[in-house]
């Protein structure tokens, strides 16, 4: 999917770059809040072996993947009114599956400690890194296409965004727990997830 704002002198490019760096900064801040020793109290007998390493691996992955994933969503609005809506959304769905599969797979060992899981939820909310960012960015694009008559008026932008992301999350979840041989390929799953939304305007 082409990205129109790709020149460093473009104000939109600078704004996007700043948001990317801000996301990385917030992930780093989050790491200070959710590591097992964050509270200053650590009971080695109650924490799973290798927890620190699992948390560090998860945070390093999140710092790399989350900004790139949010950038994909932020730049989607540049495609409104261009090309084909389904063709615009399929690469986003594929990127979502890749992101969710990577993050879920590494989150499981990191969240072996309930205390870490609770701190993670609190930190995500406090630093505004929750799923609302995904939904709002995707919803903006859907609403923009809808205003141009390229998406059915029956579609609720927020609900449609959640359905698309939920389908991608589900595929990633199944892939992790049941194996690659038990689910369609990521390319097929991305296409099916988008086309099943039936976004084309009604005749």
Where do the domains of the chain lie? 11-195
pLDDT of residue 156: 96
| Residue 25: pLDDT over 80 | no
Q: How far is CA 7 from CA 4, 16, 88, 144, in A?
A: 9, 11, 21, 24
The CATH number given to 11-195 is 1.10.357
Q: At what angle do helices 132-147 and 51-76 cross, to 10 degrees?
A: 10
Q: Is residue 138 a contact partner of residue 167, using CB atoms and an 8 Å limit? A: no
Give the mean pLDDT of 89-106.
Answer: 93
Note the pTM of the prediction, 2 decimals: 0.79
Vertex 146: Cα angle to 14 and 10 (nearest 5):
15
pLDDT of residue 35: 62
Query: Within 13 Å and on the Cβ side, how many CA atoms surround 8?
Result: 0
pLDDT tens string 124-166: 777 777 778 899 999 999 999 999 999 999 999 999 999 999 9
């Amino acid at each position: 999917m082409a990205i129109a704002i790709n020149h460093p002198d473009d104000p939109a490019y600078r704004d996007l770059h700043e948001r990317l760096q801000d996301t990385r900064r917030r992930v780093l801040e989050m790491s200070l809040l959710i590591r097992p020793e964050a509270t200053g109290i650590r009971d080695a007998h109650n924490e799973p072996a290798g927890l620190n390493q699992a948390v560090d691996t998860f945070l390093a992955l999140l710092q790399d993947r989350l900004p790139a994933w949010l950038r994909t969503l932020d730049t989607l609005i540049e495609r409104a009114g261009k090309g084909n809506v389904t063709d615009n959304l399929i690469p986003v769905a594929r990127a979502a599956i890749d992101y969710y599969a990577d993050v879920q797979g590494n989150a499981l060992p990191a969240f072996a400690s309930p205390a870490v899981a609770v701190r993670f939820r609190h930190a995500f909310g406090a630093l505004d890194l929750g799923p609302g960012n995904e939904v709002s960015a995707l919803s903006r694009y859907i609403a923009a296409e809808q205003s141009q008559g390229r998406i059915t008026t029956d579609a609720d932008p927020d609900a449609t965004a959640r359905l698309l992301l939920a389908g991608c999350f589900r595929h990633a979840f199944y892939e992790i727990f049941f194996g690659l041989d038990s689910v369609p390929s990521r390319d097929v799953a991305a296409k099916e997830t988008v086309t099943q939304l039936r976004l084309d305007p009604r005749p």
